A and B are shown apart, each in its own frame.
Chain A
Amino acid sequence: MGSYVIVRRLATQPKLAKAPKRKWKSVVGLEVHAQIASASKLFSGSGTAFGAPLNTAVAYFDASIPGTLPVLNRKCVESGIKTALALGCRVNEVSMFDRKHYFYADLPNGYQITQQRAALANSGLMTFPVITPGKKVYYKSVNLLQLQLEQDSGKSLHDEHLKRSLVDLNRAGLPLMELVFAPDLETGEEAASLVKELMLILKRLQTCSCKMEEGAMRVDANISIHKEGDPFGVRTEVKNIGSVRSISQAISYEINRQLELVAEGGVVTNETRSWDAENRRTIAMRDKEVLQDYRFMPEPNLPPLHVNLKPGSSSTNDLISVAALSKEIPELPEHTRQRLMEHYKLNAETAIILVNEPVLLDHFVNITKSLVGVPTKLVTNFLINDLLTYCNKLSLDIEDCAISASALKDVLKSLHAEQINLQAARQLIQLLHNNPTSDVSQLIGEHNLEQICDMSTIEAYCQQAMVNQPKAVQQYQKGKSKALFAIVGEVAKLSAQKANMKLVVNCLEKLLKTQK
């Protein structure tokens, strides 16, 4: 296609000797390991609690004690199927387990049990909104090539000082879903948005805690660049990405690194790089081997995993029905967004923010249900611009904010009734956060937050403000209407932010007009 364009141009514009510059394209593919939320491990009965004392959640099988055999955890299969269904996958009637061999101290068996030849599910599709700061929201679709079940490895701890390696097997055998996405992404923001959406889905399904800080979700990114029309370039793999924000940063960094490298005449090599979150850069990892041959082999101790694909079937003791599980799938985030936009007439951005923050969404639904007549816009503005901003400022996870929906409802009720103004409402958020059990109306009284609506008081404030801001009065009267804000601000100051600003503006306009 590209070359065709060039040829045609050359033909019609023979003087243009130089080919037009073709744009660089970046290609990003993700592999996500999500730990399945489950009480026991994938093939053994030991527990899965995060942070258990070292080597205490280890069944004989997890430590590869000779003669032990894997027993597949049904709950994990069900979670895998639910996830696959939510992501639009084709669940396979028969899937199989394989051994992937490599020697590592934290891999006690010398192989990992995974699904290589026949995965649990294939061919999914995820469509999700991409939020790039300062740009319009758009939707992106990515193919999910494969969803497979596999066991996690243990952890090695290296004591550089004592020159010893220590092994913790608590993680060995934890259930993972590996999701392999097609390289359909272009930017770090798209990748971060995909992961964000995936997290929302898995949390709704309750199939993964998605706590990246606990390693419950791990993301590896494959990144390459190529000129438009050319085949894909050599890719690098970035591992060790520890947060959603890092995904976007790491990928953007890696794309730019590759672009700069090529611009300087360098060549991108196929390597594994690690994200250094502190210094915000990717660094080449020591390559394990030039070419790993994992010597895959079918796991002989696990019979093929059969599932029932018949519509309308139900699960039995030894056969899981996919149709029965599909009934357990809750409303998915995208459906919620559409519902919010249709039912509450919210715009896309607002719907996205609410869905991204399940707590806000809950507040929104509860408040609008019980506060009839309050415009949804007032509610969403308050929740997003005030509550969320307050939490962000404190670096507080909204989920950890203890303010109840009913308290928020009371605040909004007073705000809507103009009993308090927005300033007071913001102050109430702070007061409630520090003291979640207090009563809103009591707080308003105690802290004297009631809005001043008395016209004579307001007029007195306005008079005083005009005296204090003679320059602004002059400018306003010369036709510079914006100067009014300075006078309004003065009133706010004089009234300790309590005057009803709507009334203040009316009053000032009237006073300024008559004074003229």
Chain B
Amino acid sequence: MRGHMKLGIKQLTAGYINGQFSPKAVTEQALKDAKNLKTLNAFACLAPEQALQQAEDSTERYAQQKPIGGLDGITIAIKDNFCTSNLPTTCASRMLKDFVPPYDATVADRLRAAGAILLGKTNMDQFAMGAGTVDSIYGPTKNIWSEDLSQDNWRIAGGSSGGSASAVAAGLCYAAIGSDTGGSTRNPASYCGVIGLKPTYGLCSRHGLIPLVNSMDVPGIVTRSISDSVEILNAVAGPDHLDSTTIQKSFKRLQLPEVDQIDLRSLRIGIPKEYHCEGLTAEVLETWTKVADLLECAGAHVQQVSLPNTASSIFVYSILNQCEVASNMARYDGIEYGHRSEDERSTEQLYAQSRAEGFNQVVKTRILTGNFLLLRKNYEHYFEKALRVRRLIADDFAKVFKPSATEHKVDILLTPTTLSDAPLYKDFASLSNRDQCAVQDFCTQPANMAGIPAVSLPVRLSKAGLPLSLQLMSNHLNEQLLLTVARWIEAQVEFDCLESLEKHVARD
């Protein structure tokens, strides 16, 4: 176990400044660890040469006492659906197997500008369609908390940003960027025992994020601590003229109070009863109750609230997702880039064959369904209706966050992230992709429907020794309060994100 891994970003950069550590040594170690933990399959591709070059540059900057930003020398990883120039960006699909983007996603660009060192691209479900990181051309990603990694009964990392969560949980990097459309960052963070932040829609640029559902996608942040999340968010958030859906208001950097300065007495916490749903395990329910009690004991007002349209989310999500997928995938024809079939008998044949070869069954099914739902005769009945129900779901949140004559508003909603601890791969794989997503995303999807910020944080271990996490949600752009409360809980529960790694190292 490397001592520096226990540190937060701020502590590590302080160590760089005073010469206790060097970016070069940290990066070399990270690349070595990544190789040693190859069995996790967290990375779609590593970029050792680029990373080492960046590390050397960073080391040089520290030597001259001129670090370029708050993340100078911090090792990170980025999900393989964010474009990175000179590094393949494949979405874990054969369709983009050899695709090297000519540009950097805004998120990647800003992280680089802040001095972060990119170790590589992380594994995911093909085009982010999944909740397990099991549908990838690189094979599934494993959860470091698994009782046994060598056998077939390992645990899934969750998904679709499983590679990002797995890499952070295994101490391979300090932070990783994921994407979150229906829970794709929070879900694997929950299973892997790390922090998964889904910022407000429009706070972080999607430019360069290969879209799944444009109206719900947000870049997600995976770290081992809330303060590290804040560091990353501060580096990547804010308006971007290349993404017209970013919030135009300039971003005010978050600064969280010290834990002992956090006063919860004026805080109102809502417990939405609909999240007490079918399939919720006793352990998660118990964790949920425990944290609610903790908050109440600290003076917060905890009350039950209702978000009556929660259960509709799965259906709405399914329709909107498949429609946008059908549209977004239309560009993959093998003409300008991506997989091109040998079959050039006709343009139509070339398209059909390239797409047949390039996409997996999950992608194909969604494309077909989406196109069916978008047909003129179906549009109103499915797509428009789904948009209306989406509005109802968003209104549910708006109501609880807004004071009314009869009820107090709540500031924060506390819910489970996932319904259980990480499933075994063999159990998970026995379900269809559709069923996997429907169960996995139940608690996380609604935040994407409404565009509100949410964070998943690990609380304790299950009987099987796996992380159990909870989710906090708040109103639009309320990241400051959301993360303040999360930080308070984090300090109370004292979850050790790297415990699994220590066990793992000890075992071998």
Contacts and interface: CB of A to CB of B under 8 A. Distances in A.
Interface of A: 60, 63-72, 99, 101, 103, 105, 108-111, 165, 167, 293, 295-297, 300-303, 318
Contacts of B347: 105, 165
Given A66-B101, A296-B376, 4 more contacts: A64-B336, A110-B333, A301-B214, A302-B245
B244 A72 contact: yes
B245 A301 contact: yes
B70 to A, nearest CB: 25
A65 B207 CA distance: 11
A68 B102 contact: no
Interface residues of B, number: 45
B216 to A, nearest CB: 9
A108 B336 contact: yes
A318 B248 contact: yes
B244 A68 contact: no
A296 B243 CA distance: 22
B330 A65 contact: no
B372 to A, nearest CB: 9
A303 B207 contact: no
B82 interface: yes
A318 B244 CA distance: 11
A293 B372 CA distance: 10
Q: Which of A69, A103, A165 has the most CB of B within 10 A?
A: A69
B101 A65 contact: yes
Nearest to B336: A63
A226 to B, nearest CB: 27
A71 B89 CA distance: 23
B326 A68 contact: no
B21 interface: no
Interface string B301-343: 0000000000000000000000110110111010111000000
A64 B102 CA distance: 12
Interface string B245-257: 1001000000000
A69 B210 contact: no
Given A69-B242, A167-B335, A303-B244, A297 B323 contact: yes
A65 B337 contact: yes
Given A72-B244, A108-B336, A296-B374, A60 B103 contact: yes
Contacts of A65: 83, 101-103, 336-337
B390 to A, nearest CB: 12
Contacts of A110: 327, 329-331, 333
Chain A interface SS verdict (over half): loop
Contact of B330 (A111, A167, A300, A318): A111
A453 B99 CA distance: 86
B244 A302 contact: yes
A92 B330 CA distance: 30
B327 A67 contact: no
B330 A109 contact: yes
B351 A70 contact: no
Contacts of A103: 330, 333, 348, 351
Contacts of A111: 327, 330
B207 A101 contact: no
Contact of A293 (B99, B327, B376): B376
Contact of A297 (B105, B331, B351, B383): B383
Contact of A69 (B89, B96, B206, B371): B206
5 contacts: A65-B101, A66-B83, A67-B105, A99-B327, A109-B330
Contacts of B215: 300
Contact of A108 (B105, B209, B245, B331): B331
Contacts, number: 102
B500 to A, nearest CB: 33
Leading 5 A-B pairs by shortest Cβ distance: A110-B330, A300-B214, A295-B374, A64-B331, A67-B208
A167 B334 CA distance: 13
Interface in B353-384: 371, 374-376, 379, 383
Contacts of B208: 67-68
B321 to A, nearest CB: 12
A66 B99 contact: yes
Nearest to A156: B347
Contacts of B329: 110
Nearest to A110: B330
A105 B336 CA distance: 9
B211 interface: yes
A301 B244 contact: yes
A67 B330 contact: no
B102 A71 contact: no
Q: Which of B99, B209, B244 has the most CB of A within 10 A?
A: B244
A71 B242 contact: yes
A166 to B, nearest CB: 11
A63 B332 CA distance: 11
Contacts of B241: 71
B210 A67 contact: yes
Interface string B189-216: 0000000000000000011111101110
A303 B239 CA distance: 14
B207 A67 contact: yes
A125 to B, nearest CB: 30
Contact of B331 (A66, A71, A296): A66
B351 A67 contact: no
Contacts of B206: 69
Q: Which of B103, B105, B248, B336 has the most CB of A within 10 A?
A: B336
Interface string B51-72: 0000000000000000000000
A296 B378 CA distance: 11
A110 B335 CA distance: 11
Contacts of A66: 83, 89, 91, 96, 99, 101, 210, 331, 337
B10 to A, nearest CB: 31
A69 B245 CA distance: 10
Nearest to A300: B214
A101 B331 contact: no
Interface string B436-460: 0000000000000000000000000
Contacts of B244: 69-72, 301-303
Contacts of B379: 295-296
Contacts of A165: 347
Contacts of B374: 101, 295-297
A295 B328 CA distance: 13
Interface string B212-241: 011100000000000000000000000001
Given A108-B331, A111-B327, A67 B102 contact: no
A293 B336 CA distance: 25
B312 to A, nearest CB: 20
B15 to A, nearest CB: 35
Contacts of A69: 206-207, 242-245
Contacts of B245: 69, 300-303
Nearest to B338: A66
A110 to B, nearest CB: 3
B335 A101 contact: no
A110 B325 CA distance: 12
B202 to A, nearest CB: 9
A165 B243 CA distance: 33
A106 to B, nearest CB: 9
A67 B245 CA distance: 14
Interface in B493-507: none
Contacts of B327: 99, 101, 110-111, 295, 297
B218 to A, nearest CB: 13
Q: Which of A60, A110, A296 has the most CB of B within 10 A?
A: A110
A67 B83 CA distance: 7
A286 to B, nearest CB: 14
Contacts of A60: 102-103
Nearest to B347: A105
A121 to B, nearest CB: 21
Given A66-B331, A67-B105, A68-B207, A295 B326 contact: yes
